[in-house]
């Protein structure tokens, strides 16, 4: 996976649980868990916006691009 | 109202396919057994009915000779000339002939089973799955395969049996009866299967969008 999700890090920093964040953002806990465990294939801008709003952070604090080894070798 | 009617049609299709599936297994086992028992037990004669009937285009009933010395009856059943030949397949070709029949029956069984499973998933309101896409592909390839095997069997009949079979008054003629409609239907199902696969991919992507 080239995009790493640092949602758990931000949640720990803000001391907020998955259930509480899901309730505030307005998505189900199951869907937020899919995002947290990097199983999601796409994120809506509206979801990202709501998460950033609640965690008081930038999208870059949650999403991180990690180049894989193959690309590094090229 | 239409919804209820459709549900009934799907339920009927489910039951019908289930019955066809089990009847086909029974039928295949019987005919395969019959095909094997003839040469193994030496029962392949006209009275036992264990020899394989061959179909040819003839316009009247009578007798024909097979391999010059073997007199065989020719009957017209449902518009087709049926020749009951005592051991039409030489011993050396018995195993390939049996395997070809087994593959042919297996493909038909596979089509019925796949269709039955698709209908079951429709009843469970979850038809858009990867496995159903694969099942559609199986059905498509099997339909083409079935027709090609039929053509191969007819070709064998034409090349091997026809020169050995002599009917006194009329000419016995065999045809290669490949149905191009079935092959085209198979190709159409293949295209639908591909569209189905793309649809399942889009659905999965949608499900994992948060």
Is residue A61 within 8 Å of residue A6, measured between CB atoms? yes
- pLDDT band at residue A35, thresholds of 50, 70 and 90? very high
Give the residue on B whose Cα is nearest the Cα of A29. Answer: B210
Mean pLDDT by 10-residue block, N- to C-terminus, for chain B (210 residues)?
Answer: 75 92 90 69 49 65 69 67 63 70 88 94 90 94 89 78 69 70 93 93 86
Interface membership of A39 toward B (CB under 8 Å): yes
CA B112 to chain centroid, in Å, comes to 11
Give me B21's structure tokens: 């599936």
Q: Tell me what pLDDT residue B94 has.
A: 66
Give the E-state strand segments of chain B in sequence order: 53-56, 62-66, 70-77, 80-84, 165-167
**pLDDT, average across residues A31-36:** 92
Cα B88 to Cα B63: distance, rounded to the nearest angstrom? 16
Interface membership of A40 toward B (CB under 8 Å): yes
CA distance B131 to chain A (A): 21
Residue B47 per-residue DSSP state: T
Nearest residue to B137 via CA among B205, B67, B200: B200
CATH code, residues A3-64: 1.10.260.40
Q: Tell me what pLDDT residue B47 has.
A: 42
Give the residue on B whose Cα is nearest the Cα of A43. Answer: B210
- How buried is B114 (Cβ within 10 angstroms: 0-12 exposed, 13-18 middle, 19+ buried)? buried
Q: Tell me what pLDDT residue A73 has.
A: 52
Interface membership of A45 toward B (CB under 8 Å): no
Cα B2 to Cα B127: distance, rounded to the nearest angstrom? 19
Q: Tell me what pLDDT residue B91 has.
A: 60
> Do A43 and B208 make contact, defined as CB atoms within 8 angstroms?
no
- pLDDT band at residue A49, thresholds of 50, 70 and 90? very high
CA distance B94 to chain A (A): 55
Cα B120 to Cα B113: distance, rounded to the nearest angstrom? 10
Q: Tell me what pLDDT residue B45 has.
A: 47
**Selected residue of B204, B205, B210 to mutate for chain A interface (largest A Cβ count, 10 A):** B210
Write down the domain spans for chain A: 3-64
Give me A7's structure tokens: 């949602």
């Amino acid at each position: 996976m080239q995009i790493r999700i640092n949602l758990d890090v931000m949640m720990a920093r803000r001391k907020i649980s998955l259930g509480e964040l899901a309730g505030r953002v307005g998505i189900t806990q199951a869907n937020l868990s899919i995002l947290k465990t990097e199983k999601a294939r796409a994120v809506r801008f509206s979801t990202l916006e709501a998460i950033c709003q609640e965690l008081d952070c930038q999208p870059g604090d949650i999403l991180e691009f990690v180049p894989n080894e193959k690309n590094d070798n090229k | 109202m239409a919804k209820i009617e459709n549900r009934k049609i799907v339920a009927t299709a489910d039951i019908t396919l289930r019955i066809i599936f089990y009847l086909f297994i029974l039928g295949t086992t019987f005919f395969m057994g019959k095909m094997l028992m003839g040469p193994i037990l030496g029962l392949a004669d006209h009275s036992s009915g264990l020899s394989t009937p061959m179909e040819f285009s003839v316009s009247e009933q009578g007798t024909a000779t097979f391999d010059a010395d073997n007199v065989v009856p020719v009957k017209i059943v449902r518009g087709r000339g049926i020749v009951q030949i005592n051991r039409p397949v030489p011993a050396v070709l018995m195993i390939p002939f049996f395997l070809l029949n087994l593959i042919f029956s297996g493909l038909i069984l596979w089509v019925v089973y796949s269709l039955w499973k698709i209908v079951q998933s429709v009843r469970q309101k979850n038809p858009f799955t990867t496995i159903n896409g694969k099942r559609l592909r199986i059905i498509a390839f099997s339909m083409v395969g079935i027709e090609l095997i039929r053509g191969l069997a007819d070709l064998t009949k034409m090349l091997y049996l026809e020169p050995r079979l002599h009917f006194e008054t009329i000419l016995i003629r065999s045809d290669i009866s490949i149905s191009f409609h079935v092959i085209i239907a198979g190709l159409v199902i293949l295209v639908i299967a591909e569209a189905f696969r793309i649809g399942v991919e889009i659905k999965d992507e949608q499900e994992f969008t948060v």
